[in-house]
A and B are shown apart, each in its own frame.
Chain A
């Protein structure tokens, strides 16, 4: 089942939490909603679920307007940011809830319900905790109970609000792989919210990046990472160095270097900013060719296979962050305080300034 949001606007009092948001998840897709805190991710998810009514715009479920379908019959599974487990029920009763509240005509016999709940608990590897109460579980376990509870009603659409938000890094990684596997097994259309770019890029089929109540860009992880639509997306998806300069007729001039920028062929001497990831910064001891920026090494953090350097530009004092392989660093024999020449690779140029 696909779900689509068209031109959704939502206000809380005078505050606009969502501005004309469009969003789409195809059948069987796993889509990540990525954005900083307060950007409206939860609000959008709640609107998709029918828990919140938008002030403008429409929700289409499988191409049909969902306005008249209330939460009960949208057949969505919702996993809440803070789990919202029923605290007076055991794990088993929590998972069984959705099956037991069905109208009598549609309800399965209790025996089938039990069998199904046990299967689900096995699926989330918690069958041994069936009799525990939510307060007796760890965060990760609660998370999986919440998921099992949502899956019990066989939703056509699974919405997860920061499913791994409250967990520590190691468990997050485990659970995110597990979620991907689960999704591949069940093939239920899923939207999950996160503010962790790594999580989004690693797990999702597609990513929608949100900021300030708007979707800034949507696409495959590779698209949004390689071709960010704007500075915000570039910044949000990883560490970034920026280089101020000017663009004139498809030629960018940044410090001492000139770079072709065919996408800005019409620019007339516009201020622009070039973004570069730290691993795309090339460093040399000597000037090879004339297009390099002179800098001084401020700090070296050498551990593991990657060496991180902090440099400062000679010409305008702006900092540069670079990542090198340990071998490359060895061969350069750079030390703190020494001079180096910097060349940006894969520069992404945007007209106007960053924030």
Chain B
């Protein structure tokens, strides 16, 4: 049984705060979180259901909404596997080997975090857009990348590529290379070593990386917005569709679409907790 008394055993020790101070601190922290987190979250859900459940489902069943859902799923279905392979390769090279330029490479993986999402979109417009470097060449061949689905996929891949690698690198570094070496000495091939020793050891971190990567891939707004051209029913992802509805003052529909993304976020957070719990369990008691 969890002990939810605010005054726990620690107050008797020399290093605890008096109960009143604890209460004040807790209330202060929770009020801050309420204003910035809980109330806005509730507002989205309330806004989505403002006109009732049937209006909610009707808004989601609109052809444009369905198209946006489909495109979002499509982009994620390409970006996540690509970034999964990249993340595993990068983590393997960085965590298990020593080589020159390793720290530079590690820093480069964080690029999408350092770059504004708008700029992440801009780079593809500059490369593939009509006035861009490859623009005329592509136009001749009637290939559309920017303001079309390929651009959206590209931008999605870019903003979500660090997540799997970021999750795996510290995990694999911490576990070192000894188990793999043991496997090699016992006669395992390279692939067997990776498949039977490395992968099972990082599976929860890997799963979490995939979940984060997916959340970002489905939720990206800035970069996708720049490359999309906002063409209804064909280049709108869910976040973009929510924006359009909002700008048209169709608030309850906008919030209905947004609420889907809220559910995605909540599922992501729940998965995070689950993975944390699972990985702590599989790590077992330290000994």
Contacts and interface: CB of A to CB of B under 8 A. Distances in A.
A–B: direct contact at CB < 8 Å: yes
Interface of A: 49, 51, 71-74, 76-78, 80, 82, 84-89, 97-98, 101-102, 133-139, 149-150, 152-153
Contact of B183 (A49, A97, A138): A97
B183 A101 contact: yes
B187 A101 contact: yes
B101 interface: no
A89 to B, nearest CB: 8
A101 B282 CA distance: 24
Contacts of A98: 186-188
A136 B284 contact: yes
B161 to A, nearest CB: 27
B205 to A, nearest CB: 13
Given A80-B178, A82-B178, A101-B192, A51 B284 contact: no
8 contacts: A78-B181, A80-B181, A86-B182, A86-B197, A86-B201, A98-B187, A101-B187, A150-B186
Interface centre among B187, B188, B196, B286 (most CB of A within 10 A): B187
B283 interface: yes
Given A97-B196, A137-B287, A152-B186, 8 more contacts: A76-B185, A78-B182, A85-B179, A89-B200, A97-B186, A133-B284, A150-B185, A150-B186
Interface string B155-195: 00000000000000000000000110111111111001000
Contacts of B196: 97, 101
A137 B286 CA distance: 10
B189 A71 contact: no
B140 interface: no
Interface residues of B, number: 22
B188 A97 contact: yes
A162 to B, nearest CB: 13
A69 B186 CA distance: 14
B57 to A, nearest CB: 44
B248 interface: no
The secondary-structure label for the interface of chain B is helix
A219 to B, nearest CB: 29
A341 B189 CA distance: 68
Interface in B64-115: none
A102 B284 contact: no
Given A78-B182, A135-B283, A136-B284, A88 B200 contact: yes
A97 B195 CA distance: 13
Contacts of A89: 200
B187 A135 contact: no
B178 A72 contact: no
Nearest to A146: B182
B142 interface: no
A122 to B, nearest CB: 20
Interface centre among B181, B182, B201, B283 (most CB of A within 10 A): B182
Contacts of B283: 87, 135
Contact of B284 (A72, A87, A138, A153): A87
B8 interface: no
B3 interface: no
A101 B186 contact: yes
Nearest to A52: B181
- The 9 tightest CB contacts between A and B, nearest first, are A135-B284, A98-B186, A84-B178, A101-B188, A84-B182, A88-B200, A78-B185, A101-B192, A71-B184
B185 A51 contact: yes
Contacts of A152: 186
Nearest to A98: B186
A74 B186 CA distance: 10
Nearest to A133: B284
Nearest to A50: B185
Contacts of A88: 200-201, 282
Contacts of A49: 185
Contacts of B183: 86, 97, 101
Nearest to A80: B178
B182 A72 contact: no
Contacts of B186: 97-98, 101, 149-150, 152-153
Contacts of A71: 181, 184-185
Interface in B102-142: none
Contact of A80 (B182, B188, B200, B201): B182
A77 B181 CA distance: 11
Contact of B285 (A51, A77, A85, A135): A135
B201 A101 contact: no
A51 B183 CA distance: 11
Contacts of B284: 87, 133-136
Given A88-B201, A135-B284, A135-B287, A101 B189 contact: yes
Contacts of B197: 86
Nearest to B286: A135
Given A101-B196, A135-B285, A135-B287, A84 B187 contact: no
A153 B183 CA distance: 11
A45 to B, nearest CB: 11
Nearest to A97: B186
A139 B179 CA distance: 17
Contacts of A51: 181, 184-185
Contacts of A101: 183, 186-189, 192, 196
Contacts of A86: 179, 182-183, 197, 200-201
A149 B189 CA distance: 17
A88 B204 CA distance: 12
A135 to B, nearest CB: 3
Nearest to B201: A88
